[in-house]
C-alpha cells in the first residue's frame, strides 16, 4: 500500500492510500489539485464541562448546516468525474482516502474563552483534536462486506497509519475509529465511509472501562479484557467466529438487539500494534461478521450498524487498555428499531429485548 498526501482548496489535509497498480507501486499518482473555491477551513467548536456528570460536552454549532443526505449525483465522497461538480476528493478514482472533515466536531484550536458566564462551575476550553473522514471505496453503492480482502486490509492499514500519527499529538488522549451505516443510525452521507476522532480528553465510555480494568488488575494482576476473552472462548456458548489470531463473540451482557465483539488473541493496545498476519486474518473476520449482520433479519438487505474500534488511550491508562471492535445495530426486528427511551436515555439502565445467546445462535446460523 502507498500513501500520498495532498491539500484541499481550504487547506485541509487529504491522504490517498492505494492498494492497486499503478498507484500502489508509485507508477502513477492520484490527482492532488483541488479546483474548488473554498473559504479557509475553520470550526467553532468548544468543550463545556458538565459538573453533574463530570463529562466534557462538545459544542459544535457549525455542524447544524453540514451536508445532509445529498442526491448520489452530488455525493461529496465520490471521485471528481469529468462533467460533474468537484467533490472532496480531487481524483477521478481512488482506493481508500482519508481527509479532514469539512464540518469537524473537534479541531478548532481556538483561544481559551474561560468558564461559561465567568462561573467556575462550568469550565470551558477549546475543542482541540482532529476529525477525519475515511472513504472505503470509490463505489457509491458498495457495502463494506462487498469489498475485496485486499481492500479491507488497506482500510485497516490506513486506520493504523492515522492512529499512529494522532496518538503522537500532544493534545490527544484517545483515537477512535468507527463506521456508522444507515439512516437509522443518523448517517448524513450514504457513501461507504467511516470516521476517525482524535479526542483531547478521555471519553466517558473509556473512563468507565479503564476504571473497571484498573480495579481488576489490582485484584488479580491480569488484564480485564484478556480475562473476558479467555472466558468467552472457554465457554464457547456465544462464540460466533474463531481463527488462529482473532475470536468474535456476543458479550454475555449484550445490550443491543444485534451485537458482536471481535478481539485479537494477543494483547495489543491498538491497530498500530497488529502484525501482518493479524491484519490479514482481521480482514477475513471483519468482513465475514459484517456479511452476517446484513443477513440477520429476513427481508432486510442493509442492517444499520455501528462498528466501533476501542483502542487503548494515550497516557498513564494505556497499560490497562486492549484493542477490540464492537459491532452493533439498533434494529430489533425486520420492521422495528430499538429506541433508547426513559430508562436507557435518562437513567442509563439498559433493558435488552433479547438475549446474548439468541443473538449468537442467529449469527452462527449465518456462517458460510
Under 8 Å between Cβ of 186 and 41:
no
Q: What angle do CA 157, 161, 162 make, to 5 degrees?
A: 120
Active site residue 216: no
Q: Quick one: which of 63, 7, 9, 14 has its CA closest to 39?
A: 9
* Sign of the Cα pseudo-torsion (340, 348, 306, 70, in order): positive
Q: What angle do CA 5, 11, 13 make, to 5 degrees?
A: 30
Strand, helix or coil for residue 20:
coil
Give the residue carrying C-alpha cell 498526501: 5
Which residues, 6 or more positions from 292, have their beta carbon under 8 angstroms from its beta carbon?
240, 363, 366, 367
Which residues, 6 or more positions from 337, have their beta carbon under 8 angstroms from its beta carbon?
184, 330, 331
Which residues, 6 or more positions from 200, have their beta carbon under 8 angstroms from its beta carbon?
47, 106, 127, 128, 129, 171, 172, 173
Extract the runs of DSSP E, i.e. beta strands, from the chain: 2-7, 13-18, 46-50, 55-59, 96-100, 124-126, 130-135, 174-181, 193-199, 239-242, 246-249, 258-264, 305-310, 324-329, 331-333, 336-337
Phi first, then psi: what are they for 15, rounded to 5°?
-130, 125
Under 8 Å between Cβ of 193 and 77:
yes
DSSP string, 294-320: HHSSTT-SS--EEEEEE-PPSSTTGGG
Catalytic residue among 62, 140, 166, 193: 193
Q: Quick one: which of 126, 129, 79 has its CA closest to 101?
A: 129
Count of other CB atoms within 10 angstroms of residue 255: 14
Q: Quick one: which of 16, 179, 44 has its CA closest to 111?
A: 44
Q: Provide Rg for the chain, Cα atoms.
A: 21
Residues designated catalytic = 193
Amino acid at each position: 500500500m502507498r500513501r500520498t498526501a495532498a491539500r484541499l482548496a481550504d487547506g485541509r489535509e487529504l491522504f490517498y492510500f492505494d492498494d492497486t497498480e499503478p498507484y500502489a507501486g508509485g507508477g502513477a499518482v492520484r490527482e492532488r489539485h483541488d479546483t474548488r473555491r473554498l473559504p479557509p477551513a475553520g470550526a467553532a467548536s468548544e468543550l463545556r464541562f458538565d459538573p453533574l456528570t463530570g463529562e466534557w460536552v462538545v459544542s459544535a454549532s457549525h455542524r447544524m448546516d453540514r451536508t445532509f443526505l445529498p442526491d448520489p449525483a452530488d455525493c461529496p465522497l465520490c471521485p471528481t468525474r469529468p462533467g460533474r461538480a468537484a467533490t472532496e476528493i480531487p481524483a477521478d478514482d481512488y482506493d481508500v482516502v482519508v481527509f479532514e472533515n469539512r464540518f469537524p466536531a473537534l479541531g478548532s484550536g481556538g483561544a481559551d474563552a474561560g468558564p461559561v458566564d465567568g462561573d467556575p462551575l462550568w469550565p470551558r476550553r477549546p475543542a482541540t483534536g482532529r476529525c477525519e473522514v475515511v472513504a472505503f471505496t470509490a463505489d457509491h453503492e458498495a457495502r463494506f462486506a462487498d469489498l475485496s480482502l485486499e481492500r479491507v486490509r488497506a482500510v485497516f492499514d490506513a486506520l493504523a497509519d492515522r492512529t499512529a500519527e494522532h496518538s503522537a499529538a500532544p493534545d490527544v488522549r484517545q483515537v477512535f475509529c468507527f463506521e456508522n451505516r444507515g439512516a437509522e443510525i443518523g448517517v448524513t452521507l450514504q457513501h461507504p465511509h467511516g470516521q476517525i476522532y482524535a479526542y483531547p480528553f478521555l471519553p466517558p465510555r473509556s473512563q468507565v472501562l479503564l476504571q473497571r480494568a484498573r480495579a481488576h488488575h489490582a485484584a488479580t494482576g491480569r488484564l480485564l479484557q484478556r480475562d473476558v476473552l479467555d472466558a468467552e472462548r472457554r465457554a464457547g456458548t456465544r462464540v460466533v467466529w474463531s481463527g488462529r489470531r482473532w475470536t468474535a463473540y456476543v458479550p454475555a451482557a449484550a445490550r443491543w438487539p444485534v451485537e458482536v465483539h471481535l478481539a485479537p488473541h494477543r494483547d495489543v493496545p491498538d491497530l498500530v500494534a497488529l502484525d501482518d498476519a493479524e491484519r490479514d486474518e482481521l480482514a477475513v473476520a471483519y468482513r465475514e461478521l459484517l456479511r452476517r449482520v446484513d443477513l440477520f433479519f429476513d427481508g432486510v438487505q442493509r442492517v444499520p450498524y455501528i462498528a466501533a474500534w476501542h483502542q487503548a488511550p494515550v497516557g498513564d491508562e494505556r497499560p490497562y487498555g486492549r484493542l477490540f471492535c464492537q459491532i452493533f445495530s439498533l434494529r430489533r426486528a425486520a420492521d422495528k428499531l430499538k429506541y433508547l427511551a426513559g430508562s436507557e436515555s435518562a437513567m442509563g439502565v439498559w433493558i435488552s429485548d433479547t438475549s446474548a445467546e439468541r443473538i449468537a445462535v442467529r449469527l452462527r446460523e449465518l456462517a458460510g
